[in-house]
């Protein structure tokens, strides 16, 4: 087995690929989507492995001497020429494993927020397409990431992930990356619920 490691960072469209790509790109030993650190957002067509996702055979020509740690980010579905595409997960994995040990990092985000985000941006819910593909990813290790836990526990959460892959969890830029909770715009005040008074009474007993 190779000593090199490759993370395939993936999840439903809108689950946090750009956010997590920035976090991983902070570590100096990781070859990732470092261009994201200089701007708020870039289209996935500029992700370092984007051409390889369209044609996994290009992985044979990739310069694997760049680093010992690589990370690639791909949404499911991803959009190319305004058309949704399902990533060629197995084809990509089957070639990349010749050069690296591979782990899938599966991004999770609240299902209700995913629905609202996907309907707003794409006009329809698409996360079910990723759930269908996820059932077929049985040929590699999978670790699950939570965008909600990142916003809540911040560096404490990131530190727990360093056992799997290098993360510069105490980098001061992290505070800037996560200072705006992208979930907040989907949260609305609700009226009093039936059990609210009961819970309050029990809490003060």
15 vs 146: CA distance, rounded Å: 9
Residues 87-102 have pLDDT tens digits of 999 999 999 999 999 9
- Domain extents in the chain: 5-203
* pLDDT digits 0-9 by tens, 89-138: 999 999 999 999 999 999 999 999 999 999 998 889 999 999 999 999 99
Cα 14 to Cα 3, 116, 118, distances in angstroms:
32, 10, 7
Torsional class of 14: left (φ above 0), alpha (ψ -120 to 50), beta (otherwise): left
- Assigned architecture for domain 5-203: 3-Layer(aba) Sandwich (3.40)
Q: What is the model's pLDDT at position 20?
A: 97
pLDDT tens sequence across 178-205: 998 888 888 877 677 676 566 556 555 5
Average of per-residue pLDDT across 62-72: 97
pLDDT for position 183: 83
Tokens of 55: 């044609």
Q: What is the mean pLDDT of the chain?
A: 91
**What tens digit of pLDDT does each residue of 140-182 get?**
999 999 999 999 999 999 999 999 999 999 999 999 999 988 8
pTM, to two decimals: 0.90
Task: Report in angstroms the alpha-carbon separations of 116 from 119, 121, 132.
Answer: 5, 9, 20
């Amino acid at each position: 087995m190779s000593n090199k490691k490759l993370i395939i960072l993936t999840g439903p469209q809108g689950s946090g690929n750009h956010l997590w790509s920035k976090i991983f790109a902070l570590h100096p030993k990781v070859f990732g989507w470092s261009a994201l650190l200089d701007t708020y957002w870039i289209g996935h067509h500029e992700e370092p492995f984007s051409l390889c996702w369209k044609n996994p055979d290009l992985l044979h020509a990739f310069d694997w001497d760049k680093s010992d740690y690589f990370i690639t980010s791909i949404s499911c579905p991803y959009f190319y020429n305004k058309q949704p595409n399902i990533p060629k997960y197995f084809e990509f994995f089957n070639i990349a494993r010749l050069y690296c040990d591979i782990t899938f990092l599966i991004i999770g985000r609240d299902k209700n927020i995913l629905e609202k985000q996907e309907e707003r941006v794409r006009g329809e819910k698409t996360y079910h397409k990723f759930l269908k593909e996820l059932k077929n990813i049985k040929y590699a290790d999978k670790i699950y990431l939570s965008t909600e836990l990142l916003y809540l526990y911040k560096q404490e959460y990131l530190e727990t992930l360093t056992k799997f892959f290098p993360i510069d969890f105490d980098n001061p830029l992290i505070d800037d990356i996560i200072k705006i909770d992208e979930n907040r715009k989907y949260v609305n005040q609700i009226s009093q619920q039936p059990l609210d008074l009961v819970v309050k009474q029990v809490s003060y007993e």
